[in-house]
Amino acid sequence: MGLSLSALAERKTLWPWLLLAPLTIYLALFFLVPLVEVAIMSVTEPRPGLANYEKVLTGSLYRKVFLNTFGTALLVTLCCLLVGYPLAYLMSTVSKRAAMGILLLITMSFWTSFLVRTYAWMVLLGNNGPVVWLMQTLGIAEPPPLLFTRFSSTLAMVHILAPYMIMNIYTVMQKIDPSLIRSAESMGAYGKSLFRHVYLPLTAPGIANGSVLVFVICLGFYVTPVLLGSPREQMAAGLIGNQIEQFLAFGLGSAMSIVLLVVTLVILGIYHRRFGLDKLYG
């Protein structure tokens, strides 16, 4: 005698939950609980009330930092797109082997620690670094400061985030049916109009996926802008770090974190309604 059918069905429905349990418990303990604590802190520290939020939402320093954060994230996303789209296109046109080679080169930076990559930029862009030396050799007597500027932090963040953009766009480009392009050609579409009317709309989902991913990750960037960026152009995560580490203003830091989280969720929400979050992972 075997198991009855309903028992089998029950076992089947139980399995996925069992498999999910370790991760769920882990996330609940080490992510959800602290997050709730942060939320509570934001309305209780140093005293109960919404004073922290009032400060964050109306204070000119905070507004400046938030605007700067969005500006930087937008700039980084745009740069990633400009760098990533042609590269992804190249990958989709070469042989599978060559594409894998390029992908390997692109993702190589993932294998290096975050800090090492950041310090590498410091060496490259520093006052005695090769870039400054090259500029001087080319006759620029007083090269503009490169390090600790918006330029250096943007450059480093684009370097780190571009692979996300490239992989998202490449995945979509690779799936485009070549007969769609042929059929467009047979109907008289050349380079520019072929791109505008057919190729770009077909790759739009990849652009949307990559952009949302890069933008959202960039919003919360901490190490890179703190170490490489201009102190005058702080990003939200850096300021939160300051509040907590230097001023011990746990409540204010928490309130900023929550605001950043809510904004991020709103962006993801809008994306979800428009494209569906499930598409984000191909």
Provide the binding-site residues for other proteins, judged by CB under 8 A: 177, 179-180, 182-190, 193, 197-198, 201-202, 204
Give 122 or 202: the residue with its C-beta nearer to other proteins: 202
In 3D space, the residue among 34, 265, 235 whose CA is nearest the CA of residue 153 turns out to be 235
Least distance from other proteins to the Cβ atom of residue 195, Å = 13
Least distance from other proteins to the Cβ atom of residue 176, Å = 10
Q: 87-107 in b/e burial notation, b at 16+ Cβ within 10 A?
A: bbbebbeeeeeebeebbeebe
Least distance from other proteins to the Cβ atom of residue 238, Å = 41
Give 48 or 191: the residue with its C-beta nearer to other proteins: 191
Evaluate the CA torsion angle 202, 206, 207, 212 in order and state its sign: positive
Give 205 or 238: the residue with its C-beta nearer to other proteins: 205
Give 208 or 255: the residue with its C-beta nearer to other proteins: 208
What residue type is assigned to position 175 of the chain? K
Least distance from other proteins to the Cβ atom of residue 197, Å = 7
Least distance from other proteins to the Cβ atom of residue 237, Å = 37
Tokens describing residue 206: 């990849």
Beta-carbon contacts of 239 under 8 Å, excluding residues fewer than 6 positions away, are: 62, 65, 256
Least distance from other proteins to the Cβ atom of residue 214, Å = 23
Could you give the CA distance from residue 213 to residue 275 in angstroms, rounded to a whole number?
13
In 3D space, the residue among 204, 114, 203, 128 whose CA is nearest the CA of residue 159 turns out to be 114
Q: Judge whether 110 and 191 are in contact, CB under 8 Å.
A: no
Give 180 or 248: the residue with its C-beta nearer to other proteins: 180
Least distance from other proteins to the Cβ atom of residue 182, Å = 6
Q: 206-231 in b/e burial notation, b at 16+ Cβ within 10 A?
A: bbbbbbbbbbbbbbbbebbbbbbbbe
On the 0-12 / 13-18 / 19+ scale of CB atoms within 10 A, 244 is: middle
Give 172 or 260: the residue with its C-beta nearer to other proteins: 172
What residue type is assigned to position 38 of the chain? V
Give 188 or 231: the residue with its C-beta nearer to other proteins: 188
